[in-house]
Structure 1
Amino acid sequence: MDKMGRYSEALDAQMELLHFWSQPSNKAAHEYIWVETLGMDRGAISLEMDFTLRILEIAEPFYVSAPICELLYQAAKSIPQTWTLTEDLLYVPAGFAWLSSPFHTVEDEFPSCAVAWASFTMGDKGWWMPMSLDADGHHGVAISYFDKLEGFPALLPQAFMFIGFGGNLVEMESLQPGGKMFNDVSGRLRASLFATLMTFLRQRILVSPRFLADRATRRRLERASRGPRTNEVRVVTLRSIERRGKGGHRDVEWSCRWIVRGHWRNQWYPSAKHHQPKWIAPYMKGPEDKPLRHSERLFAVVR
């Protein structure tokens, strides 16, 4: 399969999920699983499905390759729970990220193959309602994960969460409180993955140029009775390193090379007047012609 074929998997998956869960019989089966089997609230489950279908209609598809997935998963494990959702941190109002390497929260739970999100507003009766992309008054973001169940014909939308602007990861709530299929560890990891993805895109550690989907995918989209609004896919990739010119009155000659590990910094943002976790990406420091050292002791020559 060529690159465009792989990238188009994101839009194909988005179309397939929208088609499958739009069918009344499949929606009824989903409701039965959660209400009759697990004892969840019928109104909340119905709202979750309606919101999920709306997200799939308006979301921009993102393709996330396996190496980028692993980078996100590792960083998500250590993101500070003080991470706060702000409007400017939301990379796009609605998105569908296809994870080519599934996300495992804990060993006994189903792997997530995609995550979708969209802005919401509070309705008159206290329900969270999806917004049109050009509307004002967004209150936060709703997030849905799509999990792979062995033998099930489609990915199952699960772990529906929402977070208001100004809220942090600790305050993130779920429309499935106390759900038997999810525990606190799983919920925190899912929320942390979304936060890490948004942060990396906003910091431009990751970039997401648009590519036209392949011809076969575009044809399927044209034939679909209900489908996403775009025939393009955002491909998430690492930003190219920008080399800075030499400057200053002193040069440093390092006697070796070493790896600076990736880590989170609690960065102060004066314009926003609050701290926000900022990821410091791992990188190699030191001249290329020097040996790589693993010792914590590093030596430099300054002249």
Structure 2
Amino acid sequence: MKPRFTTALLLLPAAAWFVAMLVLPLIVVFVFSFGERGPAGGYVPAFSFDNFLNLGARWTAFKNTMVLAPIGTIACLFIAYPLAYFLAIRASAKWRTMLLILVIVPFWTSILIRSYAWIFLLGGKGLPSLIAALGLGHIQLINTPFAVLVGIVYGYLPLMVFPIYVSLERLDKRLLEAASDLGAPPLNTFLTVTLPLSMPGVATGCMLVFILLMGEFLIPAMLGGGKVFFVGNALVDLFVQSRNWAFGSAVAVALVLVMLVTVTAYMRFTRRWSGGRDDISLM
């Protein structure tokens, strides 16, 4: 009993923090979702399902989120994996640290400033003017789903690179040498050795990026220009501008449920793909 008591005592601060900062706010949001909007906004206690029945009014936000978040995650994966592979397998130790620092550099600047930079690059005086000067016609880039995806990939790429890099860096290089000695072509070696052993990093990176994208607000607001908005933008509108806390809470509860179902299905898929192992993590 003494080791159990010691373990419980050590976990108590983390458990208290988890309950206070995550569980209790979720309970409050859940309770608010059944209430009503007050005459001057805010929340009035009630027990009604009208807020959930009215979720269709924000269908566009849910649709954009459920379409662009997975696409952005996949785009980050396809760009991050070759980069992480080069850093972990091909790059020399002399340059590896410098290249890793370059991957981190965007995080040294606020995402707000970086988004303003992309507004200029994708706006009328940026890439569209260059394309028009080349005689390729006028192309609208800003305030489009493409602009939002560009901002997503730029902003979240490091979060995908590092889990994959750690997984590949821990890979036993002798396995690659053994596959080469046995006559396996490079592609077969990658598909049968490198890729399966790096799946923990892939799964972790995809999970990090996807979960954060589901609640993204700033990138759609700035690069979407009010034409491409996520559920996060709808929540800001409901809580800050419309002051309809009850309906906003219902939207938040629906978003949490969608994320819970999606993440659970994803974890089951990755576990089944990996042969039932529970090692889809960086630990």
TM-score, normalisation: structure 2 = 0.24
Higher strand share: 1
Higher RCO (CA < 8 A, seq sep 6+): 2
Larger gyration radius, structure 1 or structure 2: 2
